[in-house]
Structure 1
Amino acid sequence: MRTRPRMLGAAALVALFVASLSLQARADETYPSWADVEAARSTTATTQAAVVRITALLSGLHATAAALGDAAVVANGAAATAQADSATAAARAAVLSARLSVASEKTRAANVQLGRIGAQLYRAGSVGVVTRLLLSADGGPDLLYRLGVTTRLGETTAGIQQEALAQANVVQSASKEAAAAAAERDRLARTAQSRAAAAAAAERTADEQLAVQSATAGVLVAQLASLKNSTAETERSFLAGVAADEAYKTQQAEAARAAEAAAAQAAAGRGAAGGGGGGSG
């Protein structure tokens, strides 16, 4: 239960770190001015070089936007997992607290019963009950009846004492479990709060940077259109197509890797099964 949140937290940190590196790389870039674009139009070579440069800058902005989005998604996933773990721990702590209350009430009730019986015996006098009955002037069936009552009273007292002792042990055990569960609940609640704050920060960073990048990308697309004697809409459509093609290729490559891993795992399983069957024969 505890490992997964730590793993998600580490993944969120890695994603945020990668995104921060991408942001730093973008900050270090020198974007061309419109004067640079006009100067680049002087020759075909400089125009082509400017087109390549601006296209690369737009690709970098797209990659940074993806990294920021991934970081926000991972951070939100970590926050959601931590919140779920915190809720589970809170529910367990509540169950154990209720169990402790029940055991404590049973212990109290048993002690009250013992106290009442003790008070009755005390009021009967310091002479043993059995002795007093034997010395009583009454005899016959009444004596046997009173002896039976006394025996049952002793048995009842012993039973109540055993119940009180058993419940006291339950209370001691339940107290330790409830305290540990409460501590774990509080720890996970703090973790959930921290991860929620990290997720909110990641979203703010993504929103702020994407707003800046959107404006920068708009200028770059307009410059690219100027260099290629096209329109910004045409260039945006072309770049969107390129990005979609790259995403498709990445998805296909990941699917191929997953299929290879699954095939290798299946082959290993068949080999292990074959070896086990040969050994048993």
Structure 2
Amino acid sequence: MSTAPHLFPRPRRRVLAAAVAVVLTAGALAAVGPVSAATAASYPSWSDVEQAKASKDAQQAKVTEIKALLADLTSKASAAQAASEAAGKAYQDAQTEYDAATLEEQTLQGQADDAERTAKRSEAQAGQLAAQLGRASANDVTTDILTHPSDSGDLLYELGAMSKLSEQADGIYSQASQDRGVAQGLADRAEQAKEALGDLADAAQAKMQAAQDAADRAQTAVDAQADNKARLEAQLTLLTTNAKNVEAAYDKGVAAEKARQAAAAAAAARAAAKAAATSQGGTGGGTPNSSGWVRPSGGYQTSPYGYRVDPYTHYRALHAGVDLAPACYAPIYAAHSGTVTFAANGGGYGNEVVLDNGGGISTAYGHIVDGGILVSVGQHVEAGQQIAKIGSTGWSTGCHLHFETRVGGSAVDPVPFMAARGISV
């Protein structure tokens, strides 16, 4: 598996002085694997192009070849994008289904526990009544009537009371039986829901791995072909115009693009620092507390954990985390030390990082800005280390961090989870 630190889609540009501007949008590729050395070797060299100019037929053939190669690159980039989005969406759907099923199982188990306590109270009441009836039956009412005829009024009252008590007993026994049936029914449903969680957990994990693999393959393919596309555009310019020194201009353009990317990265870092300095509602990062945890970002909480009408899809769905909104490009920190297990397109989560924090606990960070993932799969990070930048990718209506805490792979409410570890979100 590749450990490329960036996520896609990620624009790549090469500036060519001979007016050849190339923009290649990278995407995840499930069906197309890494470019092999044999494939890369099939691209024409600058020498091939220069030699082709000596013959009009050779020149036209080379132009046709290069245009076909460019079309192929465009097709593969589109396939990569589609595969990435499909794999990310499949992962998101599987994770959401698992989270919702876990919450339902927990709710059923809570209801089953309450019903069990009710059934035990009913059975205890029935038991007490049975003991009372047993004591009452020790006095033979018929014998009392025969031996104490003068007390027949009291004895008739006693008979009436015994009849009333018997009626009450029937009701209590019936209620106890009904309560026990409800408790058993809920317990069975909770057990069935719990058994189903294993398959859902496996599916979510497999889909997450598939999304990461698709991202890795796509990034490898895009990295291998990006320079080829830029060079092919420049070679086409050399073949179809009278431009001079195109190769030199291409090399100069590549150098200029590297400088531009470095400047852009520096500007983004300054923006992130400014956003971190001006964010409100709590700060993130810093020195871990005694439990080893930190707040994952600054900003106020804008949406809690639980069911809601999703502001993006407009359908009622489980919001499996909390949203923190400092500012675009603000830093995202590892809430606890751990290992990166996912850094790719997460469908509705947008660009996402997932950390395995040990002990069955993991944390997830979603909606990261394009190009804003600063870690790679397999990398160990420390609590408070910056791992990404705030963005608005995926199902998002504005820059924020979607933060999840997962136990056994399933999301739990981050507010009490983090509070138990001394952190307020």
TM range (shorter): 0.5 to 0.7
* Separation in structure 2 between the aligned mates of residue 147 and residue 50 of structure 1, nearest angstrom: 114
Q: Do residues 55 (structure 1) and 67 (structure 2) align?
A: yes
Residue matched to 1:88: 100
**Aligned with residue 36 of structure 1, among 48, 60, 63:** 48
* Separation in structure 1 between the aligned mates of residue 161 and residue 73 of structure 2, nearest angstrom: 92
- Compared with structure 1, are the counterparts of its residues 155 and 41 closer, same or farther at alpha carbon in structure 2 (3 Å cutoff)? same
* Separation in structure 1 between the aligned mates of residue 213 and residue 81 of structure 2, nearest angstrom: 12
Bigger mean CA offset, 65-74 vs 110-119: 110-119
Post-superposition CA distance 1:236-268 (Å, at most 9, x none): xxxxxxxxxxxxxxxxxxxxxxxxxxxxxxxxx
Residue matched to 1:189: 201
Number of aligned residue pairs? 216
1:150 CA displacement: 2.2
- Compared with structure 1, are the counterparts of its residues 201 and 133 closer, same or farther at alpha carbon in structure 2 (3 Å cutoff)? farther
* Separation in structure 2 between the aligned mates of residue 224 and residue 87 of structure 1, nearest angstrom: 52
- Are the equivalent residues in 2 in contact too, given 1:133–1:146 (CA < 8 A)? no
* Separation in structure 1 between the aligned mates of residue 35 and residue 144 of structure 2, nearest angstrom: 96
Listed as ranges, the matches of 1:1-281 within 5 Å are: 16-17=30-31, 19-20=32-33, 27=39, 30-122=42-134, 124=135, 127-128=138-139, 130-131=141-142, 134=145, 139=151, 142-229=154-241, 230=243
Instruction: Please provide the CA RMSD for this pair.
Output: 3.0
Post-superposition CA distance 1:21-71 (Å, at most 9, x none): x95799376111112112111111111111111111111011111111111
1:83 CA displacement: 2.1
- Compared with structure 1, are the counterparts of its residues 136 and 109 closer, same or farther at alpha carbon in structure 2 (3 Å cutoff)? farther
Higher helix share: 1
1:204 CA displacement: 2.3
Bigger mean CA offset, 130-139 vs 183-192: 130-139
* Separation in structure 1 between the aligned mates of residue 226 and residue 140 of structure 2, nearest angstrom: 96
Misfit runs of 4+, over 6 Å: none
- Are the equivalent residues in 2 in contact too, given 1:100–1:175 (CA < 8 A)? yes
Given residue 58 of structure 1, which amino acid in structure 2 is its aligned partner? L
Unmatched runs of 5 consecutive residues or more in structure 1: 1-14, 234-281
- Compared with structure 1, are the counterparts of its residues 28 and 208 closer, same or farther at alpha carbon in structure 2 (3 Å cutoff)? closer
* Separation in structure 2 between the aligned mates of residue 175 and residue 53 of structure 1, nearest angstrom: 68
SS at match of 2:30: helix
* Separation in structure 2 between the aligned mates of residue 135 and residue 210 of structure 1, nearest angstrom: 105
- Compared with structure 1, are the counterparts of its residues 31 and 149 closer, same or farther at alpha carbon in structure 2 (3 Å cutoff)? same
* Separation in structure 2 between the aligned mates of residue 136 and residue 201 of structure 1, nearest angstrom: 94
Higher strand share: 2
Bigger mean CA offset, 190-199 vs 134-143: 134-143
SS at match of 2:42: coil
Given residue 30 of structure 1, which amino acid in structure 2 is its aligned partner? S
- Are the equivalent residues in 2 in contact too, given 1:97–1:178 (CA < 8 A)? yes
Residue matched to 1:259: none
Give the TM-score of the pair, scaled to structure 1: 0.66
- Are the equivalent residues in 2 in contact too, given 1:96–1:174 (CA < 8 A)? yes
- Identify the structure with bigger relative contact order (alpha carbons < 8 Å, sequence gap 6+): 1
Given residue 79 of structure 1, which amino acid in structure 2 is its aligned partner? Y
Unmatched runs of 5 consecutive residues or more in structure 2: 1-28, 251-425
Higher gyration radius (CA): 1
* Separation in structure 2 between the aligned mates of residue 228 and residue 198 of structure 1, nearest angstrom: 43
* Separation in structure 2 between the aligned mates of residue 182 and residue 34 of structure 1, nearest angstrom: 63
1:109 CA displacement: 0.9
- Are the equivalent residues in 2 in contact too, given 1:26–1:60 (CA < 8 A)? no
SS at match of 1:227: helix
Percent identical across equivalent pairs? Answer: 31
Given residue 87 of structure 2, which amino acid in structure 1 is its aligned partner? A
